[in-house]
Chain A
Amino acid sequence: MSTHPHSPPIAVCPGCVAMPDTGVEQEVKDARIALSLPTIHCQGCISAVERGLNAHPGVHDARVNLTLKRAMITAGPDLQATDLIPVLEGLGYEAHELDPGTLTMTGADRAGRELLMRLAVAGFAMMNVMLLSVSVWSGATDATRDLFHWISAGIAIPAIAFAAQPFFRSAWGALSVGRLNMDVPITLAIVLALITSLWETSLSGEHAYFDAALALTFFLLAGRYLDFRTRAIARSAAAELAALEVPRAIRLTDDGAETEVAVADLSVGDLVLVRPGGRMPVDGQVVSGRSELDRSLLTGETLPVFAEPGLAVSAGEVNLTGPLTIRATAVGQDTSLHRMADLVAIAESGRSRYTSLADRAARLYAPGVHILSALSFVGWFLWSGDVRVALNIAAAVLIITCPCALGLAVPAVTTAASGRLFRRGMLIKDATALERLAEVDTVVFDKTGTLTAGTPELTNLDDFSQADLGVALALAQASSHPLAMSLRKAALAQGIEPAQVDDIAEQPGYGTQGQCQGRLVRLGRATWVGADQGTQTAAWLAIGDDAPAAFRFTDALRPGAAETVQALQQAGKCVLMMSGDTRPAVKALADRLGIADWVAGALPGDKVARITELGEQGHKVLMVGDGLNDTAALRAAHVSISPASALDAARVASDIVLLGQDMSPIAESCETARRATRRIRENFQIATVYNLIAVPLAVAGLATPLIAALAMSASSITVSLNALRLR
């Protein structure tokens, strides 16, 4: 650090200018901080947040984006997001740190902007050419008509050369590997229409299709843009979920000092401190500290595991009670978490076997259109012997049959349906997820973290006397263990008063103990108080030398879980539950929810095998799961849903992410997906009907540019309106 960090680098000798002063450079470099603000909703919030942040020392500039419910802050280098979150909480707004690296503008944003530009150019050119065409249709003749045609050509050719590039590129891509896709007839129609129109114009002909070529480009680009927007919204929401997990860890130096570093910077042999509530960033071995570990995201087990020095831990486990120091044995790509994720990549994906409705339509449509157009060219050439007439008719057939409405049919419906589901709290990540969801007849649920909320619920409060409960409450209040917190909540709700307990001390990994009326009282693990650990989650209370008694817990149901299972069963779907948890725990929950078919103790491989087997029997399986042990199954299933609380790997593997705590949107989404697929089919039918009317006219040589323009616009608008009925 230089002695005058704020003085401008005025140097007398040139050498000093050339020498970089690292101290000053550090000072100049600003930090970018991103915060998620889920509760802001009005202009008052914007002003309050921006004023509050800008008043904070070190903040250079803060700007709120209300659409994304986010604040972007440029601040001095020593300012951290953790300094600003209390400021916002003081103002009454909930704030979470986002990883700005995950949120930077990606190639996808640029692609969207490019598409919008092309759409704008096509729209501008279409409007002008249409206006010129109106005068031609209303009877301009001779030199005036030629003039209008030439001006139209002057606008249409550069506009199409710019705007229709996505179609040209995609058509070339398909043709160069010897395939046909929807873009091949589109490109052919646009190019052929331009060529015949130019030829007609140069011969002072009556009909030119410049307006049709542009309208085609415009409507098809609109379909592409809608499609892109839907996926961009889903992508940005998914990126926000990923950005919420800022990958940081606390590294201990040899002298015991703590430094906060990015997880990516950790290396094998580093000492890492994991505080209670934190997630293991690396695989490793416990060096010091005692605690309990929650492995439910990895294995589905709800019983916490006791951790002491020497125990091997893997990335993704959650530390519950005491701080643990870990020596890293595997980091980054080598952790078991990543190895599991790699396994998932190998598992055959259910969605890769699915052909989308649009592709199926294109497979029928593209060859049909080409054959029809070629036949009308050959027929007219043989009958009239005039290449010009035959080419004109062939172009008219291509333009009329061009899949304008088909190009809009799917994107318009998926946009409307995804928007509707997004408002209900579901994020559709995959383009064909809705179509696949509509076909589902079997639903497989994971237990821990999916049907249950992952928070324990006390079941046998009434087995204890008031006095015992008072002691238990006093002990529970000293701990932040999930079981203790649940016990405290239940006891306080019953109006229990905490008893007088002295010398309360928490023994991380074991429980809490204290002195009550001269007797030692303990609340904690079975082995610690000298009891036998059963199969159910329990905390044991020992008073003096009395036999210890157990507080038993079950996992609380996720809100809407029971209703969802019921609604799915009523809709005639077969509901299964597969869990890695123990048999009694799974059976209890299955009985509670009325699920007859359940599997306990399932390993990740068992889940995949069962789902693949169901798929081979012809069932379309929807998998709902959150853990790492579910990821392979999520991928193997026909379609998959994971809650936002799931591990990143599980969210990536699934097609749909459930944003809220509530599960009830799942049943509704199946219904919405069915309706969306029906709309898509209706749209295809509408487009077919238009073609059935217009194609004979075109083949007979009666299709004027006016008829082409009318048929095209009318079918595109009908299709879009039909899609909007879903909202």
Chain B
Amino acid sequence: MDVLVYLIPVSLILGAVGLLAFVYTVRSNQYDDPEGDSRRILSDEWDDHPKP
């Protein structure tokens, strides 16, 4: 059972990474236009160079 000493912190840290990623997406307004974003991916306009 000694392995728990590593596994529990690892699982908690991985979960926390997910949580922080979610918090980041909320803070950076990534849920403002879900419909538009799902379509923008189809546009090849900025494929070769990023939008200035």
Give chain A's interface residues, CB within 8 Å of chain B. 42-43, 46-47, 51, 64-68, 113, 116-117, 120-121, 124, 127-128, 131, 144, 147, 151, 155
Question: Given A43-B39, A46-B39, A121-B19, are A151 and B8 neighbors across the interface (CB < 8 Å)?
Answer: yes
Q: How far is the CA of A144 from the CA of B8 in the complex (A)?
A: 12
CB-defined contacts of A113 to chain B, threshold 8 Å: 26
Residue of A with least CB distance to B39: A43
Q: How far is the CA of A116 from the CA of B43 in the complex (A)?
A: 30
> Nearest Cβ distance between residue A225 and chain B, in whole angstroms?
12
Q: In the complex the two chains form, is A120's CB within 8 Å of B22's CB?
A: yes
CB-defined contacts of B49 to chain A, threshold 8 Å: none
Q: In the complex the two chains form, is A67's CB within 8 Å of B23's CB?
A: no
The one of A42, A67, A116 that contacts B26, using a Cβ cutoff of 8 Å: A116
Q: In the complex the two chains form, is B36's CB within 8 Å of A64's CB?
A: yes
Q: How far is the CA of A64 from the CA of B45 in the complex (A)?
A: 15
Q: In the complex the two chains form, is B19's CB within 8 Å of A47's CB?
A: no
Q: In the complex the two chains form, is A46's CB within 8 Å of B43's CB?
A: yes
CB-defined contacts of B34 to chain A, threshold 8 Å: 67
CB-defined contacts of B47 to chain A, threshold 8 Å: none
The one of B4, B18, B33, B43 that contacts A47, using a Cβ cutoff of 8 Å: B43
Question: Given A43-B42, A46-B40, A120-B22, are A68 and B33 neighbors across the interface (CB < 8 Å)?
Answer: yes
CB-defined contacts of B23 to chain A, threshold 8 Å: 117, 120
CB-defined contacts of B19 to chain A, threshold 8 Å: 120-121, 124
Of all A-B residue pairs in the complex, the 10 with the closest CB atoms, nearest first, are A66-B36, A43-B39, A67-B35, A124-B19, A65-B33, A66-B35, A43-B42, A67-B33, A43-B43, A120-B22
Give chain B's interface residues, CB within 8 Å of chain A. 1, 4, 8, 11-12, 15-16, 18-19, 22-23, 26, 32-36, 39-40, 42-43, 45
CB-defined contacts of A64 to chain B, threshold 8 Å: 36
CB-defined contacts of B39 to chain A, threshold 8 Å: 42-43, 46, 66
CB-defined contacts of B8 to chain A, threshold 8 Å: 151
Beyond A66-B33, A151-B8, 20 additional pairs, beta carbon < 8 A: A43-B40, A43-B42, A46-B39, A46-B43, A47-B43, A66-B36, A66-B39, A67-B36, A68-B33, A116-B26, A117-B26, A120-B19, A120-B22, A121-B19, A124-B15, A124-B18, A124-B19, A128-B11, A147-B4, A155-B12
Q: How far is the CA of A113 from the CA of B35 in the complex (A)?
A: 19
Q: How far is the CA of A124 from the CA of B22 in the complex (A)?
A: 10
> Nearest Cβ distance between residue A591 and chain B, in whole angstroms?
47
Q: How far is the CA of A118 from the CA of B33 in the complex (A)?
A: 21
CB-defined contacts of A131 to chain B, threshold 8 Å: 11
> Nearest Cβ distance between residue B52 and chain A, in whole angstroms?
10
Q: In the complex the two chains form, is B32's CB within 8 Å of A67's CB?
A: yes
Identify 25 residue pairs between A and B in the complex whose beta-carbon atoms are under 8 Å apart, listed by A's number.
A43-B40, A43-B43, A46-B39, A46-B40, A65-B32, A65-B36, A66-B33, A66-B35, A66-B36, A66-B39, A67-B32, A67-B35, A117-B23, A120-B22, A124-B15, A124-B18, A124-B19, A128-B11, A128-B12, A128-B15, A144-B1, A144-B4, A147-B4, A151-B8, A155-B12
Question: Interface majority SS on A: helix, strand, loop or mixed?
Answer: helix
Q: Total number of A-B contacts with CB less than 8 angstroms?
A: 49
Question: Given A120-B19, A124-B18, A128-B15, are A47 and B45 neighbors across the interface (CB < 8 Å)?
Answer: yes
Question: Given A117-B23, A144-B1, are A127 and B15 neighbors across the interface (CB < 8 Å)?
Answer: yes
Q: How far is the CA of A649 from the CA of B1 in the complex (A)?
A: 69
CB-defined contacts of A124 to chain B, threshold 8 Å: 15-16, 18-19
Q: How far is the CA of A144 from the CA of B2 in the complex (A)?
A: 11
> Nearest Cβ distance between residue A151 and chain B, in whole angstroms?
6
> Nearest Cβ distance between residue A106 and chain B, in whole angstroms?
14
Q: How far is the CA of A603 from the CA of B12 in the complex (A)?
A: 68
Residue of A with least CB distance to B5: A147
CB-defined contacts of B42 to chain A, threshold 8 Å: 43
CB-defined contacts of B4 to chain A, threshold 8 Å: 144, 147
CB-defined contacts of A128 to chain B, threshold 8 Å: 11-12, 15
CB-defined contacts of A151 to chain B, threshold 8 Å: 8
CB-defined contacts of B15 to chain A, threshold 8 Å: 124, 127-128
CB-defined contacts of B11 to chain A, threshold 8 Å: 128, 131
CB-defined contacts of A120 to chain B, threshold 8 Å: 19, 22-23, 26
> Nearest Cβ distance between residue A139 and chain B, in whole angstroms?
13
Residue of A with least CB distance to B45: A47
CB-defined contacts of B40 to chain A, threshold 8 Å: 43, 46
> Nearest Cβ distance between residue A521 and chain B, in whole angstroms?
56
CB-defined contacts of A42 to chain B, threshold 8 Å: 39
Residue of B with least CB distance to A155: B12
CB-defined contacts of A147 to chain B, threshold 8 Å: 4
CB-defined contacts of A144 to chain B, threshold 8 Å: 1, 4
Residue of A with least CB distance to B44: A47
CB-defined contacts of A68 to chain B, threshold 8 Å: 33
Q: How far is the CA of A372 from the CA of B36 in the complex (A)?
A: 51
> Nearest Cβ distance between residue A353 and chain B, in whole angstroms?
38
Q: How far is the CA of A117 from the CA of B26 in the complex (A)?
A: 8
Q: How far is the CA of A515 from the CA of B8 in the complex (A)?
A: 96
Most A C-beta atoms less than 10 A away, residue of B1, B12, B32, B36: B36
> Nearest Cβ distance between residue A93 and chain B, in whole angstroms?
15
Residue of A with least CB distance to B41: A43
CB-defined contacts of A51 to chain B, threshold 8 Å: 45
> Nearest Cβ distance between residue A463 and chain B, in whole angstroms?
54
Q: How far is the CA of A121 from the CA of B15 in the complex (A)?
A: 10
> Nearest Cβ distance between residue A561 and chain B, in whole angstroms?
33
CB-defined contacts of A66 to chain B, threshold 8 Å: 33, 35-36, 39
